[in-house]
Amino acid sequence: MNDNTPNSNEQNSIPTSKVERSAKFVKTGFKIGGNYIKHYSKKLFNPDMDKSQLNEDNATDIYQSLSELKGSALKVAQMLSMDKNLLPQPYVDKFTQSQYNAPPLSGPLIVQTFKKYFGKNPDQIYDKFNIRSTNAASIGQVHQAELNGKKLAVKIQYPGVGDSISSDLKLVKPFAFRMLGMSEKELDVYMREVEERLLEETDYELEVRRSIEFSIACKNLNNVVFPDYYPDLSSKRIITMGWLEGKHLKEFLATNPSQQLRDQIGQALWDFYNYQQHELRAVHADPHPGNFLITPEGKLGCIDFGCIKVMPDDFYYPFFSLTSTNLFDDKEETIRAFRKLEMILPKDTPAQIEFYYTMYKQMISLFAKPYITSEFDFGKKAFFDDLFGFGEKVAKMPEFKQARGVKHFIYVNRTNFGLYNILHELQARVKTNTFKPHVEAEAL
C-alpha cells in the first residue's frame, strides 16, 4: 500500500448498531431543539426576524450528523438537495456538499472491510493500493489501485450502511417531516420507494451486473464512455472497475470550456438519459454531478449505476403521452391520464378535479418545454425561474400537502429535474429530438 499518512478528517469508526445510530439522531434532535429555543428567544426582542439563521443552524447540525452516520441518511440529504423546491435554501446549499464529499474512512477500517469480504488485505489483491481515498460520498468511497499495469478504481462501502437502511429511514423521518412539511401518508410513500432503491444501491454485486448491462446497452451513444468492471475483484460491499480520467462538473466548468464543448457534453448527457428512458424503460436515477466525469477527450464518463429505476408500462405511457403528444388538446383524455397516474383521485369533487387538472396541466406544460421543440437552450434562466417559481408556489398550497401521484414519480422526477439542473449548469444547447418517447401509436 502507499500513502499511509493519517488524516485528521478521517473517521475511525461509524456508528453501526441501531442503538448507536439512534443515539446520534437523538443528540442531533436536541441540538435542533436548542436552535429553535435560541431562535424564538431572539424573536422576542426582534419580532421581524426571519428563519434564515435558524435554517442555517439546523442545516449545519443535520448535515454534520448525517455525514458522520453516512449511508441512507446522507443519501436522503443528497436527494433532497437536488429538488430545489422542497427545502429552504440553507439546506440545499449544505446538503449539496453530499453530492461531492463526506469525511473518509481511516486505513484500518478499509483493511477490515477487505478482510471481511476477501479474507485478504488490499495489498494482497492489487499490485498497488492507495489507502487514502480520492473521493468519499454517501454510501462508499473510492480508492486508486493498480493490477497488471492497469489503473483501477476501487469503491468500498461504509460498514453497516447496507444493514441499517430501514432503521435509518425511520430515524430520519422526523427530520424529513419537519423539513419537507409533507403529510404522513405522502412521506410514507416517499420513504418506501427510497428504501427500495437504497437496498438495491447498497448491493454492489447487483450494481456490477447492472453496470455491465447498461454500459453494453449504451455503448453506441456518441461521446459517452464507461469504465470496465471486474466481477472477480468485486463483492457485496466492494467494486473494482477501470479508472476513468476526468474532471467532475465543478472542476470542468472552472476551466471555462467553450460553448461547443459544453454543448457536446450536454448532448451526451441528454442522449444517455433519454435513450435509457425510451429504449430501455429503465434509467440511471441518480443524476448528481458526482456520478459523472468529463474526460480529457471531451466525453461524458458515467461511473455509477447503483440506482436504477425501472418504468412500468402503466406509468410510462400515460406520463410521456402528457409530455410528448397533443393529449392536452383533449381535456377528458388528459384527466383520464391524470387518474391513471393518481394525480386526480377517485374521491375528488368536481371542483378538485378542475383545480388539479389546471395545475398539473400547467406544471407538465412547463416541464415538457424541452420535449416539444427539436432543440433547447438549457442556459435560459427564464425557463428555470418559471419552473422553480411554479414549484415553490405549489409547495406552499394546502391542496398539495396530501399524497398525489404514483410512487414512480419520486425517482422519475428526480432523474429529469437532476438532468435539467446539470444541463443548466453546463449552459448547454441540446438537440432534444434524438430519442423520442414511444407513445404516439399507443392507446392510453
pLDDT confidence of residue 63: 54
At which residue does the C-alpha cell 405511457 appear? 317
Q: How many Å apart are CA 125 and CA 147, to the nearest integer?
A: 8
Q: How many Å apart are CA 266 and CA 255, to the nearest integer?
A: 16
The answer to whether 186 and 166 are in contact (CB under 8 A) is no
pLDDT digits (tens, 9 = 90+) for 164-220: 676 666 666 665 655 555 566 666 777 777 778 778 888 899 999 999 999 999 999
Count of Cβ atoms closer than 10 Å to residue 119 Cβ: 8
The four Cα atoms 265, 267, 268, 269 give a dihedral, to 10 degrees, of 90
146: helix, strand or coil: strand
Residue 8: which pLDDT band, with cuts at 50, 70 and 90?
very low
Residue 410: which pLDDT band, with cuts at 50, 70 and 90?
confident
pLDDT digits (tens, 9 = 90+) for 135-145: 766 678 889 99
Q: Which among 134, 168, 337, 94 is positioned nearest to 244, based on CA atoms?
A: 134
Cα 262-263-265 angle, rounded to 5 deg: 65
Element spanning 241, H or E: strand 238-242
The domain spans of the chain are 1-243, 246-444
* N-to-C CA span, the chain: 59
Count of Cβ atoms closer than 10 Å to residue 63 Cβ: 23
pLDDT confidence of residue 20: 57
Residues in a beta bridge with 155: 142, 239
User: Going by C-beta distance under 8 Å and a sequence separation of 6 or more, which residues neighbour residue 13?
Assistant: 109
Tell me the percentage of the chain whose pLDDT exceeds 90: 41
User: Going by C-beta distance under 8 Å and a sequence separation of 6 or more, which residues neighbour residue 210?
Assistant: 305, 308
pLDDT confidence of residue 117: 92
Higher pLDDT, 372 or 259: 259
Tell me the percentage of the chain whose pLDDT exceeds 70: 68
Q: Which among 229, 375, 412 is positioned nearest to 305, based on CA atoms?
A: 229
